[in-house]
Structure 1
Amino acid sequence: MSDENSTPKQQEPPRLPATGTLLVDAQDRVGEFRGVMGSRWALRPVRGGVEWEVEPEEVRPATPEQRLRYATARKNARSRGDVL
């Protein structure tokens, strides 16, 4: 027997991360959170480049290993003089 008067549980929107937080999208791309664009979030490659948009529900925080890997890549890029 179902309760016809019950309302479906609404999922709370994901919490807004701090700018620069490393996130992984559904395609396993790692990017820095840059901000909100409408209902979507903007991520930017760690080494610089074109931002892309993702649905907030389709991202997860980067693992400690991924954060270390990308911190190292960023430092290496800066040491080469790459523009980030």
Structure 2
Amino acid sequence: MGPRPPALGAVMVDTSRRDRVGEFRGLSGPYWAIRPLGGGLEWEAAPERVRPATPIERLRAENARCNARSRGEAL
């Protein structure tokens, strides 16, 4: 059995996707469903490749989203 799932909404880093940051949304078979912060398409991640985000990783992800929104990019 793999790692224990985090709490719903926990901010996580998927190391198999170049340290992509997202929030835990639930289980999808043997995988964890992760969604970008602030919304977007979920992706599936192998639990052994996911770890909790550090405070700076979370801040960077939120800042990147705010910057994209201010530029008028589709989110």
Indicate the TM-score class for this superposition, using the shorter chain for normalisation: 0.7 to 0.9
Structure 1 Cα separation of the partners of residues 21 and 60 of structure 2? 10
How many positions carry a matched residue from both structures?
Answer: 67
Q: Secondary structure at the match of 1:33?
A: strand
5+ residue gaps, structure 2: 71-75
Higher relative contact order, chain-length normalized (CA < 8 Å, sep 6+): 2
Identify the residue that residue 16 of structure 1 maps to in structure 2: 5
Aligned 8 A contact 2:21 2:58 in 1: no
1:73 to 1:19, Cα distance in 2 relative to 1, 3 A: farther
5+ residue gaps, structure 1: 1-11
Q: TM-score, normalised by structure 1?
A: 0.66
Which among 33, 48, 71 is matched to residue 42 of structure 1? 33
Structure showing greater radius of gyration is 1
- Normalized per residue, the structure richer in helix is 2
- Normalized per residue, the structure richer in strand is 2
Instruction: Give me the CA root mean square deviation.
Output: 2.2
Structure 2 Cα separation of the partners of residues 67 and 32 of structure 1? 10
Identify the residue that residue 73 of structure 2 maps to in structure 1: none
- Alignment of structure 1 residues 20-31 onto 2, 5 Å: 20-25=9-14, 26-27=16-17, 28-31=19-22
